[in-house]
């Protein structure tokens, strides 16, 4: 099963099984490199096999090194250890710096200034100034902070910033010069808000598109990463020059996630790469040498592992290879509490990571205990003094280069740079270049001058959906067009261009029309997700609404154009068959006008821009989702790597097979809401007296009359749960729905419907829990549960069957209903075995 929960459960189970977790024996004293290497021969790298790269000499010029040496001679052990710890702004205040001499802060996804993740740009400036002032007010060596943020498709945490297409779209453009210019624009927008450092470029080479982070990678073939890593690094940082910090308007980069984050088994986020060292070198090393040669100042270690050993503890990779043949002179930062996943470590303590080669620990919420335990480890020699000094030197060197010691901040506060006309034009150019034309039957595109155009699909006028994950919020959910005052939706761009060509455009989300249009454009696709919440089991595009719309329009004799938004190639053959033209638009961001630039012709009917994008990811022939990468034996895609039609060179694709290759209804019958996601084919539905609303995926939503609403909350991981608030205004239900499945075997086998829950406000009336029509009364059970504590409830399927569930055709595997006020959070809704811990509440 692909689930963070199961991974945690396995880790927790190891001691119970009596197996000593690997390395635990020497974790107390800190392992020697040799101990780590001898632990796992198949996850020990051999430096002699790796190619050579080198940080530019200008990174460690004599003046910088002398400055660092002098500074270190004045630093206490506390100050040195502080350099190795990074805290998230959601849990540290400037005042804390008086007590804790930390070296770095970050703003993670959904972490905004003073708790406001939609704070305007000026607040971000104020925040960085407040932290900087606090660091400068410290007694002692007064080492400035380095402040990092995920600016991974523009300065995407800051409202009003230019949001560029995610990397998957940029990969389709195959344009290194464009990449450099995007790096420059991004750096400028970050620098004016006072941050010093971005956690990018992402150099992942995604090999299994079921991975939720596929869209953060440029391509399945590392040739693209090799050609982009240098230009992106230079765009962000500029060229390093001896004796000088980065030029104003530039920021430090961080090549991530080292290594093979895109190579995990079954595309599981934070999972394991099961492969050889040669594959690491040939495929996943990809853009790293180029980024190092270009002077990238930091590298982020990957959450993931190699043959069972997590990278954050792999000395052979982080030290022997990265500082050996790869010649990296910057510093290595770990990922978000990744150290806590190492054997013998916890989020609060992990000398092993530092000893393996992590220079700075990303400890968003655990920095206090981690600082204390790391200090203790340094005092007692568990972390050798030489190793600590090396880490600190690397961090300080990068800080000098990043310019944090500069007395002035030349561009900070110049908010006119945020979404400047030049940056917006660049993003629009990037959108144009990223579009890939998969089909264009009968030359329906470009749309002719003067045409009457119907624009359908709920994504047409939704900038948040076009921007995807890592936009304002970590998951990119909950954004509306009002959050992007600088942006233009795809609809907005089409409307403008059609008018300019002398035609008319009409927006109709469901595709209904009164006057028959000449052509219809339907914009649809995946809704936003990030990291593990985006992992999927198949590449089937599940929602059926867009297909119905396309078919209706076609049946009415209207030519159809699909604009498909997604973070990965998906099996969409039915949708492609129902479209005359089909455009893969990826996650274009805030400049939706770039779509119309290519799709809508000029007043003379000529294309204004031709398509330039070609697939950097193979498009699948079925939905199964098995790894599909060009060059592999038996490679058989629907559209191959490098494919892309143009106006100049078209071709007919004919009718595609609609055999999905997976039984959606049976492919997943036992997981409904896991790891913060509704698992296909399941989605959430909210109903009250006014009808029903189907948000389907995780987002803030409510039933038509507000009888019940839902929002993401934290449980086992960030945003891994859902909170249902019943307002008490009348009967309301929250339920999970999908294609009917047969649970006869499961109910005979005494499996139970299992979920975690937390009562946030006790039920004021009776509450029912049902599967299909089988309902049991859980009022007393919920009333008896202590408030605000997570517990697990397991109700036997046989009990629900006896209560009236048609267990052979279950389309609703979970439903809560009540008429009265009640607030409950739930997570991990799935079938689970009976371990003598199941119940059968009374039937009403
Ligand atoms: C992600 C990184 C990101 C970091 C800070 C982690 O969960 O894996 O890509 O840079 O968080 O937000
Ligand atoms: C942070 C992300 C981080 C994630 C990891 C989120 O709250 O904002 O940056 O990657 O947690 O679980």
Helix, strand, coil fractions of the chain, as percent rounded to 5: 35, 20, 45
Compute the distance from residue 67 Cα to the ligand 1 centre, in Å.
31
Among the bound ligands, name the one nearest to the CA of residue 676: 2
Pair of tokens at residue 809: 């055709």
Reported pTM: 0.83
Bridge partners, residue 696, by sequence: 684
Contact 89/145 with Cβ under 8 angstroms? no
666 SS3 class: helix
109 lines ligand 2 (CB under 6 A): yes
User: Chain-wide mean pLDDT for the chain?
Assistant: 93
79 SS3 class: helix
Q: Which of 68, 67, 53, 64 is nearest to 295 (CA)?
A: 53
Pair of tokens at residue 32: 């020697």
The residue that leads in pLDDT, 203 or 745, is 203
Contact 590/463 with Cβ under 8 angstroms? yes
Bridge partners, residue 488, by sequence: 591
Residues with Cβ within 8 Å of residue 829, at least 6 apart in sequence? 672, 673, 674, 736, 753, 754, 755, 813, 814
Q: Among 116-120, 138-142, 176-180, name the most confident range.
A: 176-180
The conformational region for residue 267 under phi > 0 = left, psi -120 to 50 = alpha, else beta, is left
111 lines ligand 2 (CB under 6 A): yes
Q: What proportion of the chain, given as a percentage, has pLDDT over 90?
A: 85
d(CA 564, CA 680): 19
Ligand 1 atom closest to the CA of 107, numbered from 1: 12
Contact 80/72 with Cβ under 8 angstroms? yes
Pair of tokens at residue 747: 């109910």
Q: What is the 3-state secondary structure (H, E, C) of 757-822?
A: EEEEECCCCCEEEEECCEEEECHHHHHHCCECCCEEEEEEHHHHHHCCCCCCCECCCEEEEECCEE
Q: Does the pLDDT value for residue 2 go beyond 70?
A: no
d(CA 358, CA 387): 10
The residue that leads in pLDDT, 761 or 669, is 761
For residue 39, name the pLDDT band (cuts at 50, 70, 90): low
Is residue 454 within a helix (H) or strand (E), and if so which, with residue range?
Answer: strand 452-456
Average pLDDT, integer, range 474-483: 94
For residue 291, name the pLDDT band (cuts at 50, 70, 90): very high
Pair of tokens at residue 136: 């400068």
For the sheet with 298-301, list strands across it. 254-258, 298-301, 331-333
718 lines ligand 2 (CB under 6 A): yes
Contact 307/40 with Cβ under 8 angstroms? yes
Pair of tokens at residue 543: 């929602």
Compute the distance from residue 107 Cα to the ligand 1 centre, in Å.
10
- Crossing angle for the helix pair 421-434 and 176-192, to the nearest 10 degrees: 140
Ligand 2 atom closest to the CA of 335, numbered from 1: 10
Q: Does the pLDDT value for residue 549 go beyond 50?
A: yes
Across 608-727, the runs of DSSP E, i.e. the strands, are 671-674, 677-678, 683-688, 691-696, 701-702, 708-713, 721-727
DSSP labels for 569-634? --B-HHHHHT-SEEEE-----SBTHHHHHHHB--TTS--SS------SSPBPSSSS-----TTSTT
For residue 402, name the pLDDT band (cuts at 50, 70, 90): very high
Q: What is the pLDDT of residues 327-376, one digit of tens each?
A: 999 999 999 999 999 999 999 999 999 999 999 999 999 999 999 999 99
Q: Does the pLDDT value for residue 774 go beyond 70?
A: yes
Ligand 1 atom closest to the CA of 202, numbered from 1: 9
- The predicted pLDDT at position 274 comes to 97
Q: In the structure, which protein residues have their CB atom closer than 6 angstroms to any atom of ligand 1?
A: 106, 108-109, 150, 199, 256, 303, 335-336, 531
For the sheet with 452-456, list strands across it. 436-440, 581-584, 560-565, 519-525, 452-456, 504-507
- The predicted pLDDT at position 48 comes to 98
Among the bound ligands, name the one nearest to the CA of residue 200: 1
Bridge partners, residue 644, by sequence: none
Nearest Cα residue to atom 5 of ligand 2: 336
Contact 529/212 with Cβ under 8 angstroms? yes
Name the pairing type of β-strands 721-727 and 708-713.
Answer: antiparallel
DSSP labels for 497-523? HHHHTT-EEEE-TT---SSPPSEEEEE
Nearest Cα residue to atom 8 of ligand 2: 109
Q: Best mutation site among 471, 718, 720 for ligand 2, i.e. most ligand atoms within 8 A of its Cβ?
A: 718
844 SS3 class: coil
Q: Does the pLDDT value for residue 20 go beyond 50?
A: no
d(CA 365, CA 336): 9
| Greatest alpha-carbon span in the chain | 80
Q: What is the pLDDT of residues 521-540, one digit of tens each?
A: 999 999 999 999 899 989 99
Q: Which residues are catalytic?
A: 335, 531
Contact 812/733 with Cβ under 8 angstroms? no
Burial of residue 452, with CB atoms counted within 10 A of its CB: 0-12 exposed, 13-18 middle, 19 or more buried:
middle
Q: Does the pLDDT value for residue 84 go beyond 50?
A: yes
Compute the distance from residue 335 Cα to the ligand 2 centre, in Å.
10
Q: What is the pLDDT of residues 602-658, one digit of tens each?
A: 999 899 999 999 999 999 999 999 999 999 999 999 999 999 999 999 999 999 999
**CA angle in degrees (0–180, nearest 5) for 730-682-13:** 105
Ligand 1 atom closest to the CA of 109, numbered from 1: 12
- The predicted pLDDT at position 696 comes to 78
Q: What is the pLDDT of residues 115-126, one digit of tens each?
A: 998 999 999 999
Among the bound ligands, name the one nearest to the CA of residue 270: 1
For residue 460, name the pLDDT band (cuts at 50, 70, 90): very high
The residue that leads in pLDDT, 675 or 807, is 807
Half-sphere exposure of 688 (CA within 13 A, CB side): 20
DSSP state, residue 528: P
Contact 542/404 with Cβ under 8 angstroms? no
């Amino acid at each position: 099963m692909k689930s963070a929960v199961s991974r945690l459960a396995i880790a927790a189970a190891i001691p119970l099984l009596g197996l000593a977790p690997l390395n635990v024996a020497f974790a107390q004293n800190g392992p020697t490199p040799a101990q780590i290497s001898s632990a796992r021969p198949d996850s020990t790298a051999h430096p002699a096999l790796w190619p050579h790269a080198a940080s530019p000499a200008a990174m460690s010029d004599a003046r910088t090194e002398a400055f660092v040496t002098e500074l270190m001679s004045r630093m206490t052990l506390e100050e040195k250890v502080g350099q190795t710890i990074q805290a998230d702004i959601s849990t540290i205040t400037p005042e804390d710096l008086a007590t804790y001499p930390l070296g770095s802060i970050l703003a993670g996804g959904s972490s905004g200034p003073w708790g406001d993740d939609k704070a305007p740009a000026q607040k971000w400036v104020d925040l960085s100034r407040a932290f900087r002032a606090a660091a400068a007010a410290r007694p002692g060596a007064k080492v400035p902070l380095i402040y990092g943020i995920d600016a991974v498709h523009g300065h995407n945490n800051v409202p009003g910033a230019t949001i560029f297409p995610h990397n998957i779209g940029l990969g389709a453009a195959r344009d290194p010069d464009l990449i450099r210019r995007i790096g420059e624009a991004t750096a400028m927008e970050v620098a004016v808000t006072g941050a010093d450092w971005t956690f990018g470029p992402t150099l992942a080479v995604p090999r299994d598109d079921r991975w939720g982070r596929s869209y953060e990678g440029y391509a399945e073939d590392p040739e693209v990463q090799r050609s982009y890593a240098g230009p992106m690094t230079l765009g962000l940082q500029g060229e390093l020059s001896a004796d000088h910090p980065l030029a104003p308007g530039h920021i430090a980069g961080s090549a991530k996630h080292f290594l093979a984050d895109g190579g995990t088994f079954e595309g599981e986020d934070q999972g394991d790469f099961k492969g050889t060292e040669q594959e690491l070198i040939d495929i996943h090393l990809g853009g790293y040498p180029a980024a190092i040669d270009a002077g990238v100042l930091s590298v982020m270690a990957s959450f993931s592992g190699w043959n069972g050993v997590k990278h954050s503890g792999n000395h052979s990779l982080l030290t022997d290879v990265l500082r050996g043949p790869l010649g990296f002179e910057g510093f290595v930062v770990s990922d978000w509490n990744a150290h806590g996943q190492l054997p013998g470590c916890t989020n609060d303590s992990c000398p092993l990571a530092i000893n393996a080669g992590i220079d700075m620990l990303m400890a968003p919420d655990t920095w206090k205990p981690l600082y204390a335990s790391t200090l203790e480890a340094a005092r007692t020699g568990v972390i050798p003094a030489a190793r600590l000094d090396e880490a600190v030197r690397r961090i300080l060197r990068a800080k000098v280069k990043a310019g944090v010691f500069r007395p002035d901040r030349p561009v900070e506060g110049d908010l006119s740079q945020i979404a400047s006309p030049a940056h917006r034009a660049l993003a629009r150019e990037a959108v144009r270049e990223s579009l890939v034309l998969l089909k264009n039957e009968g030359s329906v595109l470009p749309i002719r001058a003067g045409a009457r155009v119907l624009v359908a699909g709920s994504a047409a006028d939704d900038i948040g959906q076009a921007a995807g994950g890592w936009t304002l919020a970590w998951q990119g959910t909950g954004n509306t067009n009002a959050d992007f005052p600088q942006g233009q939706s795809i609809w907005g761009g089409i409307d403008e261009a059609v008018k300019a060509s002398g035609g008319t455009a009409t927006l109709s989300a469901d595709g209904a029309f009164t006057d028959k249009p000449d052509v219809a454009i339907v914009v649809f696709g995946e809704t936003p997700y990030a990291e593990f919440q985006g992992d999927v089991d198949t590449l089937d595009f599940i929602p059926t609404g867009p297909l119905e719309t396309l078919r209706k329009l076609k049946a009415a004799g209207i030519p159809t154009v699909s604009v498909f938004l997604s973070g990965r190639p998906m099996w969409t053959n039915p949708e492609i068959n129902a479209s005359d033209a089909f455009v893969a638009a990826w996650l274009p961001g805030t400049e939706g006008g770039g779509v119309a630039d290519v799709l809508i012709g000029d007043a003379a009917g000529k294309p204004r821009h031709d398509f330039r994008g070609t697939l950097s990811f193979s498009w699948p022939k079925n939905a199964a989702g098995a790894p599909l990468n060009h060059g592999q034996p038996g490679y058989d895609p629907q559209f191959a790597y490098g494919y892309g039609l143009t106006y100049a060179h078209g071709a007919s694709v004919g009718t595609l097979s609609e055999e999905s290759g997976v039984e959606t209804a049976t492919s997943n019958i036992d997981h409904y809401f896991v790891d913060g996601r509704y698992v296909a084919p399941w989605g959430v539905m909210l109903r009250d007296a006014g009808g029903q609303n189907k948000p389907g995926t995780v987002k803030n939503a409510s039933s038509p009359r507000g009888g019940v609403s839902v929002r993401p909350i934290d449980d086992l991981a960030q945003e891994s749960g859902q909170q249902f608030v019943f307002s008490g205004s009348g009967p309301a239900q929250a339920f999970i729905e999908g294609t009917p499945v047969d649970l006869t075997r499961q109910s005979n086998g005494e499996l139970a419907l299992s979920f975690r829950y937390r009562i946030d406000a006790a039920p004021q009336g009776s509450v029912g829990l049902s599967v299909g029509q089988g309902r049991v009364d859980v009022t007393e059970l919920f009333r008896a549960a202590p408030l605000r504590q997570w517990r697990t409830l397991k109700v036997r399927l046989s009990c629900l069957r006896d209560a009236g569930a048609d267990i052979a055709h279950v389309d609703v595997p979970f439903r809560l209903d009540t008429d009265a006020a009640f607030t409950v959070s739930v997570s991990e809704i799935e079938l689970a075995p009976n371990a003598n811990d199941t119940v059968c509440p009374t039937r009403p």
